[in-house]
């Protein structure tokens, strides 16, 4: 650290102390006695109207060292919940996704903007001595550090758990890695690797085809969601213990958790065939491992994807149709097969299992006469569970998703308005805080000054040192 004047140092210390106090509001277990309800030591229920008593994670400050998708999914969600998320990015470069799959020249990609909403961005070269000093100060000021670097990268920056604990024993250090401890722990991992290693790909697709990856990002976003739960649990535990802890989510584990019904089926195989798989009805023997089940339902109620009116031209003119046992009679009447209600070959769920292909082919003759939305409307009235195959276009335009804040349009200074997925978790007293993603380094000065307490001359000195700016670019051009 360069020498500083005494007065500036004292001012800085006070500001840093102040910001640290703000960041750890959660400590507020020691509320004034007057505010506590008699006996239980908890605050009295707020008298403020619902939605006006702050956000769920107000007061939690997050040092966001994440990149690409898994980590950013987690911290974006925490930001939506009200946490102050400070994203640390490499000067001049930033999160690699800023420039990946770019659709608007010169603007941050949607890949980045849709995963980094409601955050602040500070650029810091974590390998620069001054950068390390700033990071240390951030560690002291934040409640949670979230990262998803390749194994060992955080340690190489000097941020081992031990060092972090020395700086801030209350710090929760949350990581996404590809694999947990074991033979693959040092591997770099991306979404589809995790889908394959976590049991999803081997059980997705059709029996006579290769393993398939799924479009839902269960490896990246799925693990980010797991991590968010780990973080809020650790924050809650910290209220009792006063200390932080490590939170680790391996992508393989996250995928396996989401594919647990297939591990269920693996064990069921030891006791006989999986009768709800259409393979059973087709008389095809099962092998040693859970097979791919096409569009069979993963639960006990058989289902399949059926064509609807217009399927020849519209690749999404399909509906998922479930032959739920309690509404079997209604299904038979609807498709013009009332005799199936009493026919011993069709009347009971076990009798139907070997005939699922025939049953769904017959239902499809009916769905082919209707659009997917007509099927939905008719079936819903009869309590028959069906789901239209909705395209991304339809979802983007769906008014009800806009109304609930699940799909949100935000404005962006360089790319203009864009759609993002808002908070899918709705809290009745904590409205989601969905804002645009930050430009690279947009909040560098603000964070240095207001969060870390650096004075103006110190900030000028930091900028001149190259710790927060790209070597070849003047400081002002950073956010352009």
Identify the sign of the CA torsion 387, 392, 393, 395: positive
Taking CB under 6 A as the criterion, the residue among 8, 15, 153, 419 binding ligand COA is 153
Print the binding letters for residues 126-145 with ligand COA: x by CB under 6 A, - otherwise: xx------------------
Residues 6+ apart with CB under 8 A from 319: 305, 306, 308, 367, 372, 375, 376, 386, 387, 388, 389
Binding window for ligand COA (CB under 6 A); candidates: 121-129, 276-284, 342-350, 392-400: 121-129
Q: At what angle do helices 251-258 and 260-268 cross, to 10 degrees?
A: 60
- Please write down the HEC assignment for all residues of the chain: CCCCCHHHHHHHHHHHHHHHHHHEHHHCCCCCHHHECCCCCCECCCCCCCCCCCCCCCCEEEEEECCCCHHHHHHHHHHHCCCEEEEEECCCCCCHHHHCCCCCCCCCCHHHHCCCCCCEEEECCCCCHHHHHHHHHHHHHCCEEEECCCCCHHHHCCCCHHHHHHHCCCCEEEEEECCCCCCCCCCCCCHHHHHHHCCCHHHCCCCCCCCCCCCCCCCHHHHHHHHHHHHHHHHHHHHHHCCCCEEEEEHHHHHHHHCHHHHHHHHHHHHCCCCCCHHHHCCCCCCCCCCCCCCCCCCCCCEEEEECCCCCCCCCCEEEEECCHHHHHHHHHHCCCHHHHCCCCCCCHHHHHHHHHHHHHHHHHHHCCCCHHHHHHHHHHCCCCEEECCCHHHHHHCHHHHHHCCEEEECCCCCCCEEEECCCCCECCECCCCCCCCCCCCCHHHHHHHHCCCCHHHHHHHHHHCCCCCCCCCHHHHHC
In the complex, what is the shortest distance from the CB of residue 413 to ligand COA, in angstroms, rounded to a whole number? Answer: 23
Catalytic residue chosen out of the listed positions 220, 265, 433, 445: 220
Which is nearer to ligand COA, 181 or 350 (by Cβ)?
181
Print the binding letters for residues 22-41 with ligand COA: x by CB under 6 A, - otherwise: --------------------
Which 40-69 residues touch ligand COA, going by CB under 6 A? 68-69
Binders of ligand COA: how many residues, by CB under 6 A? Answer: 24
Taking CB under 6 A as the criterion, the residue among 55, 177, 412, 415 binding ligand COA is 177
Is there a catalytic annotation at residue 220? yes
In the complex, what is the shortest distance from the CB of residue 117 to ligand COA, in angstroms, rounded to a whole number? Answer: 17
Binding window for ligand COA (CB under 6 A); candidates: 184-192, 203-211, 347-355, 375-383: 184-192
Does 228 interact with ligand COA (rule: CB under 6 A)? no
Which 289-308 residues touch ligand COA, going by CB under 6 A? none
Which 154-173 residues touch ligand COA, going by CB under 6 A? 156-157
Which is nearer to ligand COA, 186 or 446 (by Cβ)?
186
Taking CB under 6 A as the criterion, the residue among 24, 61, 70, 117 binding ligand COA is 70
Binding window for ligand COA (CB under 6 A); candidates: 50-58, 101-109, 174-182, 351-359: 174-182
Does 119 interact with ligand COA (rule: CB under 6 A)? no
Print the binding letters for residues 206-225 with ligand COA: x by CB under 6 A, - otherwise: --------------x-----
Taking CB under 6 A as the criterion, the residue among 74, 83, 189, 407 binding ligand COA is 189
Number of other CB atoms surrounding residue 344 within 10 Å: 7
Which is nearer to ligand COA, 100 or 361 (by Cβ)?
100
Which 386-415 residues touch ligand COA, going by CB under 6 A? none
Does 90 interact with ligand COA (rule: CB under 6 A)? yes
Taking CB under 6 A as the criterion, the residue among 124, 142, 164, 384 binding ligand COA is 124
Taking CB under 6 A as the criterion, the residue among 2, 10, 150, 460 binding ligand COA is 150
In the complex, what is the shortest distance from the CB of residue 198 to ligand COA, in angstroms, rounded to a whole number? Answer: 13
Which is nearer to ligand COA, 126 or 469 (by Cβ)?
126
Taking CB under 6 A as the criterion, the residue among 24, 176, 196, 228 binding ligand COA is 176
The residues annotated with a catalytic role in the active site are: 220
Residue numbers at the binding site for ligand COA (CB under 6 A): 68-71, 88-90, 124-127, 148-150, 153, 156-157, 176-178, 188-190, 220
């Amino acid at each position: 650290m360069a020498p500083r004047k005494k007065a500036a140092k004292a001012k800085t210390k006070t500001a840093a102390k102040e910001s640290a106090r703000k960041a750890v509001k959660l400590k507020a277990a020691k509320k004034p006695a007057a505010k506590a309800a008699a006996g239980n030591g908890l605050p009295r229920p707020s008298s403020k109207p619902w939605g006006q008593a702050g956000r769920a994670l107000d007061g939690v400050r997050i040092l966001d060292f994440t990149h690409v998708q898994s980590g950013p999914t987690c911290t974006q969600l925490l930001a939506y919940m009200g946490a102050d998320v400070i994203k640390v990015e490499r000067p001049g470069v930033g999160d690699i996704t800023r420039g990946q799959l770019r659709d608007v020249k010169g603007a941050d990609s949607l890949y980045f903007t849709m995963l980094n909403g409601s955050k602040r961005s500070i650029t810091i070269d974590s390998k620069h001595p001054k950068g390390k000093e700033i990071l240390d100060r951030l560690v002291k000021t934040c409640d949670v550090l979230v990262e998803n670097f390749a194994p060992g990268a955080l340690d190489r920056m000097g941020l081992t758990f031990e060092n972090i604990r020395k700086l801030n024993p209350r710090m929760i250090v949350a990581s996404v890695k590809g694999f947990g401890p074991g033979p693959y722990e040092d591997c770099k991992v991306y979404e589809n690797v995790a889908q394959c290693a976590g049991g999803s790909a081997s059980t997705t697709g059709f029996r006579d085809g290769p393993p398939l990856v799924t479009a839902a990002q269960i490896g990246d976003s799925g693990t980010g969601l797991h991590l968010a739960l780990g973080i809020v649990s650790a924050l809650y535990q910290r209220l009792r213990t006063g200390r932080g802890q490590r939170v680790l989510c391996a992508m393989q584990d996250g995928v396996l958790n989401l594919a647990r019904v297939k591990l269920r089926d693996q064990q069921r195989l030891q006791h006989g065939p999986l009768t709800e798989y259409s393979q059973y009805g087709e008389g095809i023997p099962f092998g040693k491992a859970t097979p791919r089940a096409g569009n069979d339902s993963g639960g006990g109620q058989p289902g399949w994807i059926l064509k609807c009116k217009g399927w020849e031209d519209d690749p999404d003119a399909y509906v998922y149709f479930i032959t739920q046992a309690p509404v079997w009679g209604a299904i038979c009447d609807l498709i013009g097969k009332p005799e199936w209600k009493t026919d011993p070959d069709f009347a009971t769920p076990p009798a139907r299992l070997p005939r699922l292909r025939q049953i769904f082919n017959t239902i499809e003759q009916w769905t082919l006469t209707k659009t997917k939305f007509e099927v939905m409307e008719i079936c819903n009235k009869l309590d028959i569970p069906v789901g239209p195959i909705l395209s991304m276009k339809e979802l983007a335009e769906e008014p009800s998703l806009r109304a609930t804040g699940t799909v949100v349009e935000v404005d962006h200074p360089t790319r203009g308005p864009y759609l993002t997925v808002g908070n899918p978790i709705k809290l009745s007293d904590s409205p989601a805080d969905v804002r645009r993603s930050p430009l690279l380094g947009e909040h560098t000065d603000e964070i240095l000054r207001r969060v870390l307490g650096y004075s103006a001359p110190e900030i000028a000195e930091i900028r001149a040192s190259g710790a927060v700016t790209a070597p070849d670019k003047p400081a002002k051009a950073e956010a352009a």
